């Protein structure tokens, strides 16, 4: 069976310094991933409109599928790339997805695809970052999805058996926000290009380091707020003496289209609005030793729209750079909270938190119980 890995990494060119830095980090991770997939024996196809990245990947031996930022439609472009690959099976992922995935996990995916009938393998039921399927031509049976969050669902609905990759930090951790890159840097893991790029960062990480250290202590009270799944809670319960206070809501809000339609409703968001950010974090600091806050649910509550600029500067705690008055006030209150509060996207209560849990387990003498 001939299996191709199709990696998507592109989009509009950076418009500001922060976007430029994140693009450099994503490109470094992408090239590390291309090399890793090749070591696993896969043919690698990079779909991109970024010329420098294409040239670097081509020099590593990857095939380049040129895309355009204007009028880009994920599903249609993926379908064309799959047809041109001629592969029997496909592993799709974005360039910044699963930077810690090991060769053994890639081999597991390939074995899963080779067994039985039509099969789709995903790393996450709600919102997959990696989707692999066999036979590759099965993609022709589904309506081309607008984004990769829907790809696994569409293939399953078309009749494929869905297989979930066993849980691990590597399988759940992907890179979307500045906080995710700070977690990768703190872990000391990842490919050589990524680590070299991470060493050039000058982003503040004191709150992250303090919160990560709390996880390794005895019986701390730790709040998890946002799209928290059961797998990370179970992993904590098996491996760390941590008392979790969990407020989980709006899982799958992107994949289900709730965010796009303005339908997100957040109890925490309403509490922050009613109490005010300062009183909310004052109360949170009275009952917890650290907090990990997936702010995207809060930011989308009741149809609110927050720019990437404001979201990312909130993640970094740089309140003075934020233009939205509410996000500015919220971020300032979080930074001034008496406990370390880690702000970010889904990963801070999912894959990124899993990476930090592994760090805490190692600090306590490990090993982890899967």
Q: Quick one: average pLDDT of 149-165?
A: 93
3-state class percentages of the chain: helix first, strand second, coil last, to nearest 5: 50, 15, 35
Residue 364: pLDDT over 90: yes
What domains are defined for the chain? 3-166 (3.90.550.10), 206-363 (no CATH)
What is the model's pLDDT at position 127?
A: 78
What is the rounded average pLDDT of the residues 19-43?
A: 97
Q: How far apart are CA 274 and CA 100, in angstroms?
A: 40
pLDDT confidence of residue 256:
86
**Sheet strands side by side (includes 290-294):** 243-248, 221-226, 290-294, 341-344
CA 265 to CA 240: how far, in whole Å? 31
Q: Taking residues 141-152, what's their average pLDDT?
A: 91
What does the pLDDT read at residue 125?
81
Q: Mean pLDDT across the chain, nearest whole number? A: 95
What pLDDT was estimated at residue 184? 97
Q: What is the pLDDT of residue 209?
A: 98
Q: Nearest to residue 133, comparing CAs of 309, 4, 310?
A: 4
> pLDDT over 70 for what percent of the chain?
100
User: For 297-311, what is each residue's pLDDT tens digit?
Assistant: 999 999 999 999 999
pTM listed for this prediction: 0.94
pLDDT of residue 149 exceeding 90: no
Question: Rounded to whole angstroms, how far apart are CA atoms 127 and 134?
Answer: 20
In a 3-state reduction of DSSP, which class is residue 77?
Answer: helix
Phi, psi of 8 (to 5 degrees): -100, 125
Q: pLDDT exceeding 90 applies to what percent of the chain?
A: 91
pLDDT of residue 126: 75
pLDDT tier, 150 (very low <50, low <70, confident <90, very high otherwise): confident
Position 173 pLDDT exceeds 90: yes
> How does pLDDT run across 87-122, given as a tens digit for each residue?
999 999 999 999 999 999 999 999 999 988 999 999
Q: Which two tokens stand for residue 118?
A: 């039509």
| Tens of pLDDT, residues 213-232 | 999 999 999 999 999 999 99
Q: Dihedral angle at the C-alpha atoms of 59, 16, 334, 242, nearest 10 degrees?
A: -10
Segment 348-368 shows an average pLDDT of 94
- Stated as kind and residue range, the H or E segment containing 120 is strand 119-122
Q: What is the pLDDT of residue 128?
A: 86
Task: State the DSSP code for 346.
Answer: G
- What's the confidence (pLDDT) of residue 349? 97
Give me the helices (H) in the chain, please: 17-39, 51-59, 74-85, 103-114, 151-157, 169-172, 178-187, 192-198, 206-214, 230-239, 267-275, 277-287, 295-300, 308-315, 325-335, 351-363
Q: Count of H helices and E strands in the chain?
A: 16, 11
DSSP β-bridge partners for residue 246: 224
The average pLDDT across 161-165 equals: 95
CA distances from 4 to 124, 172, 248 (A): 21, 22, 37
The C-alpha R_g of the chain, in whole angstroms, comes to: 20
**pLDDT value of position 85:** 96
The DSSP bridge partners found for residue 294 are 344
| Nearest C-alpha neighbor of 155 from the set 231, 92, 81, 107 | 92
Are 298 and 286 in contact, with CB atoms under 8 Å apart? no
Structure tokens at 280: 């909310």
Q: What is the mean pLDDT of residues 313-333?
A: 98
| DSSP H stretches of helix in 173-276 | 178-187, 192-198, 206-214, 230-239, 267-275
Predicted local distance difference test score (pLDDT) of residue 282? 98
Tell me how far apart the alpha carbons of residues 190 and 223 are, in angstroms, rounded to a whole number: 27
């Amino acid at each position: 069976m001939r299996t191709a890995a199709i990696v998507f990494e592109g989009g509009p060119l950076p418009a500001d310094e922060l976007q430029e830095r994140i693009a450099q980090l994503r490109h470094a991770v992408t090239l590390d991933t291309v090399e890793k997939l090749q070591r696993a024996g896969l043919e690698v196809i990079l779909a991109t409109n970024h010329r420098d990245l294409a040239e670097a990947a081509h020099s590593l031996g990857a095939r380049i599928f040129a895309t355009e930022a204007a009028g880009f439609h994920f599903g249609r472009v993926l379908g064309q790339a799959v047809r041109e690959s001629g592969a029997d099976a496909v592993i799709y992922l974005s360039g910044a997805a699963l930077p810690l995935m090991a060769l053994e996990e890639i081999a597991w995916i390939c074995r899963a695809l080779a067994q039985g009938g039509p099969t789709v393998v995903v790393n996450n039921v709600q919102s997959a970052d990696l989707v692999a399927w066999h036979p590759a031509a099965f993609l022709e049976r589904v309506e081309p999805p607008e984004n990769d969050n829907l790809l696994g669902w569409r293939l399953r609905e078309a009749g494929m058996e869905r297989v979930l990759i066993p849980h691990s930090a590597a399988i759940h951790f992907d890179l979307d926000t500045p906080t995710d890159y700070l977690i990768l840097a703190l872990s000391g893991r990842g490919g050589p290009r990524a680590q070299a790029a991470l060493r050039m960062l000058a982003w503040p990480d004191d709150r992250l380091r303090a919160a990560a250290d709390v996880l390794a202590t005895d019986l701390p009270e730790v709040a998890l707020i946002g799209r928290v799944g059961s797998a990370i809670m179970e992993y904590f319960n098996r491996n760390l003496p941590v008392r979790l206070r969990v407020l989980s809501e709006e899982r799958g809000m992107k994949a289900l289209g709730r965010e796009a339609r303005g339908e997100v409703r957040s109890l925490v968001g309403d509490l922050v609005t009613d109490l005010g950010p300062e009183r909310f974090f004052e109360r949170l600091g009275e009952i917890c030793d650290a907090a990990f806050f997936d702010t995207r649910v809060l930011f989308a509550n009741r149809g609110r729209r927050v720019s990437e600029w404001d979201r990312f500067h909130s993640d970094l705690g740089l309140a003075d750079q934020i233009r939205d008055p509410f996000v500015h006030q919220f971020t300032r209150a979080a930074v001034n909270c008496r406990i370390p509060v880690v702000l970010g996207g889904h990963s801070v209560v999912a894959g990124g938190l899993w990476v930090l849990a592994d760090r805490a387990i190692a600090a306590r003498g490990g090993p982890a119980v899967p």
